[in-house]
Amino acid sequence: MNTKKPLRVQWNMIIPASVLLSGVLLAGCGASAEQSATTAPTSASNTSNATTQTPSSSAQTTGTTSANATTASTTNSTGDTLLQQREDSSLQSTIKKMNGKMVITNPESMTVIVNKKRSLPDGYIPPDLVVPKVAFSYDGVLEKSHMRKEAAGALEKLFAASKKAGLDLRAVSGYRSYKRQVTIYNNNVATKGQAYTDRVSAKPGTSEHQTGLAIDVSGPGIGYGLEQSFGATAEGKWLAKHAAEYGFVIRYKKGADAITGYTWEPWHIRYIGKELAEDVTAKNLTLEEYFDEDQIQK
């Protein structure tokens, strides 16, 4: 298996410094208190008939067999494609040690895995950040309003579907720059202590939000906050059931703390693409498990 080379990071977007002034990290993926202050919102009868029916029956059987073969071929093809994507993005083939820490080598991949043990390259900025056309829990455009273009488009479809279902999902926090992470992390260390901060927060460079592929969402049932009780609301239940249809997974599953490094976050969704998201969800795995070579080979 070949190790992917790091992709060149390009950046042609300037985000006003003023957007860096809101938010205080609460827990896990780096959900922040900034959202609290900005919440908005038959048989044949004779030989002739038998002779006539035989070709028809044969044709029907042939057609059914052909259709089944086509379906099987498509299924196998999809399975092979997913397997190849898993192998190409395996945890073991997309990491290298740099300056004493483990740094990922595929930061721009839609399947990049970032966690407390896997850092993004220093100062990484996604190349195609845009603001998705969805409802937010606050007014105006901030740094956290952004996502990578493909993920933003998928989020728009997810939100449209939820609205059609009579729900009121709101986007709370998407992209989070390295600089912003530093500010939040240092503030938490100063106010809550190093031990507590390291237990519940992502160190700068290890937040999935920095990839531009993750976003926290919420609903009116909990005042558009980021709390585990969101999972019991109408929006939370709908999201858990339908997120994969639009390419997203609930990133931090319940009971998987030891694997992901974070407690259950029903509000934090991560874009990886529809086919992969549906496969991950069907297998009931975390992304760490799904992209681990030991799991891939099973």
265 annotated active-site: yes
Distance CA 148, CA 211 (A): 8
Place of tokens 């390009």: 10
CB 252 within 8 A of CB 262: yes
**Taking a C-beta distance cutoff of 8 angstroms, is the pair 93, 1 a contact?**
yes
How far is 90 from 63, CA to CA, in rounded Å? 40
For the sheet with 248-252, list strands across it: 170-173, 214-218, 265-271, 248-252
Give the containing element (helix H, strand E) for 130. Answer: strand 129-130
Quote the longest CA-to-CA distance of the chain: 94
Contact 233, 221 (CB under 8 A): yes
Q: Do 113 and 119 meet the contact criterion of CB atoms below 8 Å apart?
A: no
In this structure, what token pair is assigned to residue 4? 């992917």
Length of the chain: 298
Q: Read off the DSSP letter of residue 8.
A: P
Measured from the Cβ of residue 269, the count of other Cβ atoms closer than 10 Å reads 27
Between strands 214-218 and 265-271, the pairing is antiparallel
Radius of gyration in angstroms for the set of CA atoms belonging to the chain, rounded to a whole number: 23
Signed CA dihedral, 262, 266, 271, 274: sign only:
positive
* Catalytic, out of 156, 265, 275, 278: 265
Which residues are tagged catalytic?
265
